[in-house]
Amino acid sequence: MSGTRLRVLSMFVKWAQDDPMRIFWLAGLAGTGKTSIAVTLCRMLQNDPKVLFGGAFFCSRTANVTEQTDARCIIPTLVASLAVKSPGFASALKAELNTDSHAALKPISEQIITLLQQPLTTLSRLASPIVFVVDALDECSNDNDVKKLLQAISTLDCASMVKFILTSRPETHISTSPILSSDRNSVMRLHTIDPDEVTEDIRLYITDAFMKAPLAKPWYSEAEIKMLSVLSDGLFIFASTVIAYVLKVQSVKGRETRLRTALLAVQESRVAMGPLDAMYDFVLTRASDTAAIEPMELEVTLKALACILAARVPLSTGALADLLGLELDELLDSLQRLHALVHVPEEADQPSLRTLHASFGDYLLARNHISVSLGNETLARGCLNLMGRRLHFNISKIQSSYEPNSEVKPSSITLSLEYACMQWIYHIADMTIPTMLDADMGKMLRPRFLFWLEVMSLLDRVWRAAAMLQFASSTVSSASNLA
């Protein structure tokens, strides 16, 4: 752990133990290491006998999980975590839920009273402060809900000492909220720390990463590490991207070449763009080098990236390959060129394919390298094609209609087919011209409508079928004739 980061963490722990302030906001620009601090802080608080670590919520756009971008899910999640750790709180919470079982679905201002304030009020003051961590608030999809959350925790009134450690970029809707208008709250801005200190932290971070990946011969110099730390310009995500790019190869010559090529390319381009964009530009340019890959391979890479950004829930590599109509190895070859920027799970059925940092998606869209429309159209066609190929009568191979769904585990319903059946209409609706798939949708669904309903039933989501068709009828011109 680098010097400045260690001091920041130590300060947070001391604040959690002793300081009477309610909220501590850690603000920082994209890529400055807020999430890494939050993760380490959670580990430290978990093992700290002087505090009760209530729980954490990590907001994330790259995870492609709707709940992780919904501020309305934060209080219920934290409360559930606290209930596991405090039997007394769990009993008090249960009593509240017996009175109001729908409390978690109510507005945030009511959630925090019913789910947190009221249960804590019924308890005597706890010996230790309760500390919650909420990371990356700026990645929530609804700014107004974030404002309501900050208002609610700023006005929380209960006997027990409840503290919130928040991290986010210094977005206007956060910095102008009640978070800064009370003497019970405090703020630290990572981007205002002495640049020389941050550069030294990054140098230590790079050195540690390189030393943990040794080869038979030295392949880097102290001067190169220093240059990389300076070029990072305070962005840990920049340094980690270069590290991932360089360490992917296992030969001395390969690493030497990659490190020097990256340093030279970024030096030449960072004058015209920020350091993080320069790094992204370098990696993407190398991945799309027409002298090294075929046009068809480049098309697959861009479509895969667009789909990862547009996916409504996390996909596995196997599922995405299925939806794109590719062999798994073909997809993996295309993603291999982006390993420094895209997390590719080791197992083909592990649904955690995503970009490593939300800023990469922002970069791709802002510079028109790809469009969300491309991802939605590709996934919409993929869903329809896959359902057309896979849906058939009695897909569960059930022996009797009296056999309950809970006892049926059809291997034929793969993650890709589940995704297709659940998400097809939403991708069509998000296309620039949704009606262009009228014919394809009718061709797929008319003869297979009951087969689709069977899958929805097996997934225990048949209740969503009517709503999906109603949504379709308001989006696509021929949807009313589908069934």
* Cα three-residue angle 353-247-223, rounded to 5 degrees: 135
Is the per-residue pLDDT at 66 higher than 60? yes
State residue 160's pLDDT score.
66
State residue 307's pLDDT score.
93
Relative to beta strand 52-58, strand 162-168 is unpaired
CA pair distance 60, 413, nearest whole angstrom = 28
Higher-confidence position of 156 and 224 = 224
Does residue 188 share a domain with residue 155? yes
Q: Are the CB atoms for 255 and 232 separated by under 8 Å?
A: no
pLDDT digits (tens, 9 = 90+) for 222-268: 999 999 998 887 778 788 888 988 998 899 999 999 899 888 877 77
Closest CA to 116 of 185, 51, 162, 167: 162
State residue 287's pLDDT score.
74
Does residue 80 share a domain with residue 225? no
Q: What is the CATH number of the domain that holds 97?
A: 3.40.50.300
State residue 480's pLDDT score.
40
Higher-confidence position of 189 and 428 = 428
Q: pLDDT > 90: what percent of the chain?
A: 29
pLDDT digits (tens, 9 = 90+) for 104-144: 899 999 999 999 999 988 776 667 888 999 998 988 888 89
Domains in the chain: how many in total? 4
Is the per-residue pLDDT at 342 higher than 60? yes
Does residue 390 share a domain with residue 301? no
Higher-confidence position of 317 and 195 = 317
Distances (CA, A) of 43 to 39, 72, 78, 437: 7, 25, 16, 49
Higher-confidence position of 2 and 405 = 405
Mean pLDDT is lowest, of 114-118, 146-150, 320-324, 436-440, for 436-440
State residue 112's pLDDT score.
92
The residues near 7 (Cβ < 8 Å, ≥ 6 apart) are none
CA pair distance 238, 266, nearest whole angstrom = 11
- Give helix then strand counts, H and E, for the chain: 22, 7
State residue 292's pLDDT score.
65
Does residue 224 share a domain with residue 167? no
Which of 192, 213, 245 is the last residue before a domain boundary? 192
Does residue 266 share a domain with residue 172? no
Judge if pTM exceeds 0.85.
Answer: no
pLDDT digits (tens, 9 = 90+) for 4-31: 666 677 777 776 766 666 888 888 877 7
CA pair distance 105, 109, nearest whole angstrom = 11
Is the per-residue pLDDT at 181 higher than 70? no
pLDDT digits (tens, 9 = 90+) for 20-63: 668 888 888 777 778 888 888 899 899 888 889 999 999 988 77
Q: Average model confidence (pLDDT) for the chain?
A: 83
* Cα three-residue angle 412-376-285, rounded to 5 degrees: 110
| Joined tokens for residue 44 | 């430290």
State residue 478's pLDDT score.
47
Q: What is the CATH number of the domain that holds 357?
A: 1.10.10
- Facing residues of 133 across strands? 56, 165
Does residue 161 share a domain with residue 48? yes
State residue 225's pLDDT score.
93
Relative to beta strand 130-135, strand 342-343 is unpaired
Does residue 269 share a domain with residue 164? no
Mean pLDDT is lowest, of 266-280, 346-360, 436-450, for 266-280
Does residue 381 share a domain with residue 365? no
Which stretch, 1-15, 330-344, 469-483, has highest mean pLDDT?
A: 330-344
Does residue 178 share a domain with residue 73? yes
Q: Are the CB atoms for 443 and 408 separated by under 8 Å?
A: no
Higher-confidence position of 481 and 306 = 306
Does residue 333 share a domain with residue 307? yes
Does residue 386 share a domain with residue 241? no
The residues near 90 (Cβ < 8 Å, ≥ 6 apart) are 83, 84
Is the per-residue pLDDT at 318 higher than 90? yes
Higher-confidence position of 128 and 384 = 384
Which of 238, 267, 287 is the last residue before a domain boundary? 287
Does residue 341 share a domain with residue 311? yes
Domain holding 459, by residue range, is: 373-481
Which of 141, 169, 192 is the last residue before a domain boundary? 192
